[in-house]
């Protein structure tokens, strides 16, 4: 039976008078890819920030592997196994690709130097970046910057990885390798929460989908059913949605 790994229950978050998360309850199971769709401004990145500890929720509960993590710092959540990518990648441009990933394994995961190097090399291998290991991160093309974002998340040895629009800006032929990498993560037992506007990439790998619209989950379930639902159609009315609806 599916075991919940990372769960938010009735989470609320406001910035001043703007309610961004309005009672969100959502969880990801061990070894599951949960896709998150929703229009711009829906609160998707804020939800990932609340899970990773970058932003604190105003109320509601957050559990990871059965433990309450509300009082746990972002750094400690990372060491416990909550890894993430950012919507806007900011690698250390002057450092090499390998050094960027090493920072994640050494300081994100808190590993000793020798193990950190091994884990960093594995993360490069899994994301197809080994040939770029010694290149300056600042000179990477977009697909490799996305790979580096994933490699940095993997190097923290996550049990769940939170991906924020990692497919954005990639060309059609660059998407399949990314989808394969994310499927490979799931197959190795890592849970994934993937926010994505490039819906057909998400549909290729997601086990379950939720739609977040202005702070509320308006649809949840089997991905193609969710995309076809009235609630999702309404949320995207007038928006530039990349999917065959
Ligand atoms: P999404 O990722 O779905 O596009 P976000 O979670 O980034 O949405 O943002 C949801 C809303 O919250 C937006 O209106 C955004 O401007 C606002 N917001 C996000 N972060 C902050 C912040 N730190 N301070 C004030 N408003 C914020
Ligand atoms: Mg966002």
Atom 7 of ligand 1 has which residue's CA nearest to it? 45
Percent of the chain with pLDDT strictly greater than 70: 96
Q: Which atom of ligand 1 is nearest to the CA of 165?
A: 2
Is the Cβ–Cβ distance between 164 and 48 less than 8 Å?
yes
Q: pLDDT tens, 161-206?
A: 999 999 988 999 999 999 999 999 999 999 999 999 999 999 999 9
**Predicted local confidence at residue 91, as pLDDT:** 84
Q: What's residue 244's pLDDT?
A: 43
Atom 15, ligand 1: residue with shortest CA distance: 41
Give 42 Cα–ligand 1 centroid separation in angstroms: 8
Instruction: Take residue 43 and report the two structure tokens written for it.
Output: 């609160």
Does residue 234 carry a pLDDT above 70? yes
Tell me how far the alpha carbon of residue 168 lies from the centroid of ligand 1, in angstroms: 18
CA distances from 201 to 10, 143, 164, 224 (A): 29, 14, 13, 12
**pLDDT tens string 124-149:** 999 999 999 999 999 999 889 999 99
Q: What is the pLDDT of residues 57-74, one digit of tens each?
A: 999 999 999 999 999 999
Residues 86-128 pLDDT 10s: 877 788 899 999 999 999 999 999 999 999 999 999 999 999 9
Q: How far is the CA of 99 from the centre of ligand 1 (A)?
A: 31
């Amino acid at each position: 039976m599916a075991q919940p790994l990372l769960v938010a229950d009735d989470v609320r978050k406001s910035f001043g008078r703007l309610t961004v998360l309005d009672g969100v309850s959502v969880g990801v199971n061990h070894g599951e890819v949960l896709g998150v769709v929703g229009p711009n401004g829906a609160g998707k990145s804020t939800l990932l920030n609340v899970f990773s500890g970058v932003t604190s929720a105003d109320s509601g509960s957050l559990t990871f592997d059965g433990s309450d993590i509300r009082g746990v710092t972002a750094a400690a959540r990372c060491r416990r196994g909550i890894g993430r990518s950012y919507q806007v990648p900011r690698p250390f441009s002057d450092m090499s690709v390998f050094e960027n990933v090493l920072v994640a394994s050494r300081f994100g995961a808190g590993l000793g130097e020798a193990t950190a190097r091994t884990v960093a090399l594995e993360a490069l291998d899994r994301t197809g970046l080994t040939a770029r290991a010694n290149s300056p991160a600042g000179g990477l093309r977009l697909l490799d910057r996305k790979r580096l974002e994933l490699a940095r998340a993997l190097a923290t040895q996550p049990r769940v990885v939170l991906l924020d629009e990692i497919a954005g800006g990639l060309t059609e032929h660059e998407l399949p390798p990314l989808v394969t990498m994310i499927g490979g993560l799931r197959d190795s037992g890592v849970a994934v929460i993937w926010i994505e506007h490039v819906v057909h990439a998400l549909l290729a790998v997601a086990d379950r989908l939720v739609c977040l619209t202005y702070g509320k989950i308006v649809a949840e379930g089997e991905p193609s059913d969710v995309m076809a639902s009235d609630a999702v159609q309404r949320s995207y009315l007038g928006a530039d949605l990349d999917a065959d609806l």
